[in-house]
């Protein structure tokens, strides 16, 4: 359904490359204003091919894309000034300084933010006078981000924004993306980092071989997957002594239990351990993570399911 609140709508989208290979095979989703939406997927799943269609860099083979109510390919002039794009590989003249690069970009952007403000937002202010070729990989990603912010975009496309950043840089980027969302910017990002999608995305879609195979909030995508309890039994206590109802799987003394009812299963396990006078070493109980959901999808794919 398309409403004013939907800044991005994609319906039955397909993309084929020369030779007939179909990289995007009929996907549909929508992104509301002020939402952070993440596209996840294995290598070659079709994320970049999709994002390029949303950015208006190519025309779909079939289906429709609307960004801010327009076709981003045919009505590029209406869409381009209102979006910010951070590609996977930004290409900069390497002899310019950071400030010169941002200023050059700003001259091509109407109503641009002052370059210094954009550099400050991404934490590059202190590197303003450094030549681009002297930046680290992570600093170049930040410069890419600053350039995408110059036009004060209503919609921001971020293709793997934190690749190459260290843990602190990644957290800073997350904070910035959240701050932009909180001021009404709509963000569509692709990422390989599942914890990034889990922590940042309001909603997400997992792609595999050109199709969307799971979508929803991070909690919805993980909610249907089993939780896991792990521990080590003391020497001389075989896993066979555990209550059968727990369906435990053991490798030596290391035991793993997968359950849809974490609280009940954990309660049963702890009561059994207490009554048997057994100490469970390294006890760890956790709900399914997005990583597990993702790995399951990738595993099914390898198995041809
Ligand atoms: N220009 C092209 N010509 C032919 N095939 C292409 C082209 N670009 C991409 N592909 C193929 O389309 C499929 C999807 O690629 P795409 O880059 O969209 O995947 P992705 O999900 O972004 O992957 P990654 O996570 O590795 O960046 C891949 O099989 C890729 O080899």
Separation of 180 CA from ligand 1 center, angstroms? 29
* Residue among 13, 14, 19, 21 whose CB has most ligand 1 atoms within 8 A, to mutate: 21
Ligand 1 atom 25 nearest Cα: 43
Instruction: Name the strands in the sheet holding 281-286, side by side, starting at the edge strand that comes first in the sequence.
Output: 248-251, 254-259, 227-232, 281-286
Residues 271, 107: Cα–Cα separation, whole Å? 69
- CATH no. for 6-222: 3.40.50.300
Instruction: Name the strands in the sheet holding 62-67, side by side, starting at the edge strand that comes first in the sequence.
Output: 22-32, 6-16, 62-67
In tens digits, what is the pLDDT along the chain, a chain of 305 residues? Answer: 444 578 999 999 999 998 889 999 999 999 999 999 999 988 889 999 999 999 999 999 999 999 999 999 999 999 999 999 987 776 777 788 999 988 888 887 777 789 999 999 998 999 989 999 898 888 888 999 999 999 999 999 999 989 888 888 899 899 999 999 999 999 999 998 888 998 899 999 999 999 998 899 998 888 878 889 999 999 999 999 999 999 999 999 999 999 989 999 999 999 999 999 999 999 999 888 888 888 877 777 666 65
> Which residue ranges have their beta carbon within 6 Å of ligand 1?
17, 21, 23, 41, 43-49
Distances (CA, A) of 233 to 134, 237, 268, 277, 281: 54, 6, 16, 12, 7
3-state SS track over the chain? CCCCCEEEEEEEEEEECCCCCEEEEEEEEEEECCCEEEEEECCCCCHHHHHHHHCCCCCCCEEEEEECCECCCCCHHHHHHHEEEECCCCCCCCCCEHHHHHHHHHHCCCCCCCHHHHHHHCCCHHHCCCEHHHCCHHHHHHHHHHHHHCCCCCEEEEECCCCCCCHHHHHHHHHHHHHHHHCCCEEEEECCCHHHHHHHCCEEEEEECCEEEEEECHHHHHHCCCEEEEEECCCCCCHHHCCHHHCEEEECCEEEEEECCHHHHHHHHHHHHHHHCCCCEEEEEECCCHHHHHHHHHHHHHCCC
Nearest CA-CA partner of 103 in 142, 136, 143, 65: 143
Domain with CATH 3.40.50.300 in the chain: 6-222
Residues 90, 86: Cα–Cα separation, whole Å? 7
Domain with CATH 3.30.70 in the chain: 226-287
Ligand 1 atom 31 nearest Cα: 44
* Residue among 48, 60, 193 whose CB has most ligand 1 atoms within 8 A, to mutate: 48
Separation of 44 CA from ligand 1 center, angstroms? 5
Residues 261, 225: Cα–Cα separation, whole Å? 11
**pTM for the whole thing?**
0.83
Ligand 1 atom 16 nearest Cα: 46
Q: What does the pLDDT read at residue 302?
A: 65
Separation of 22 CA from ligand 1 center, angstroms? 10
Backbone angles phi, psi at 123, to 5 degrees: 75, 30
Separation of 173 CA from ligand 1 center, angstroms? 25
Match 């048997």 to its residue by tokens. 276
Architecture in CATH for domain 226-287: 2-Layer Sandwich (3.30)
Ligand 1 atom 2 nearest Cα: 17
């Amino acid at each position: 359904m398309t409403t004013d609140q939907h800044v991005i709508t994609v319906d039955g989208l397909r993309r084929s490359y020369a030779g007939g290979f179909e990289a995007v095979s009929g996907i549909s989703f929508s992104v509301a204003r002020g939402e952070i939406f993440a596209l996840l997927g294995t290598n070659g799943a079709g994320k970049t091919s999709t994002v390029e269609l949303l950015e208006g860099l190519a025309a779909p083979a079939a289906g429709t894309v609307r960004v801010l109510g327009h076709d981003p390919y045919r009505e590029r002039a209406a869409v381009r000034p209102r979006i910010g794009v951070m590609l996977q590989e930004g290409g900069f003249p390497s002899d310019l300084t950071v400030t010169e690069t941002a200023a050059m970009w700003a001259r091509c952007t109407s109503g641009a933010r002052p370059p210094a403000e954009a550099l400050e937002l991404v934490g590059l202010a202190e590197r303003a006078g450094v030549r681009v070729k002297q930046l680290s990989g992570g600093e170049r990603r930040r410069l890419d981000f600053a350039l995408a912010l110059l036009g004060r975009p209503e919609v921001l496309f971020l293709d793997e924004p934190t690749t190459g950043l260290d843990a602190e840089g990644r957290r800073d980027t997350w904070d910035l993306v959240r701050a932009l969302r909180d001021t009404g910017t709509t963000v569509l990002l692709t990422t390989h980092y599942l914890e990034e999608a889990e922590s940042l995305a309001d909603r997400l879609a997992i792609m595999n071989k050109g199709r969307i195979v799971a979508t929803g909030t991070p909690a919805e995508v993980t909610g249907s997957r089993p939780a896991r309890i792990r521990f080590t039994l003391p020497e001389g206590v075989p896993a066979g002594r555990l209550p059968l109802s727990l369906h435990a799987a053991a490798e030596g003394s290391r035991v793993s239990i997968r359950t849809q009812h974490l609280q009940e299963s954990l309660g049963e396990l702890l009561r059994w351990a207490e009554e048997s006078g057994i100490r469970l070493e390294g006890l760890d109980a956790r709900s399914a993570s997005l990583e597990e959901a993702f790995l399951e999808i990738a595993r099914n794919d390898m198995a041809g399911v």
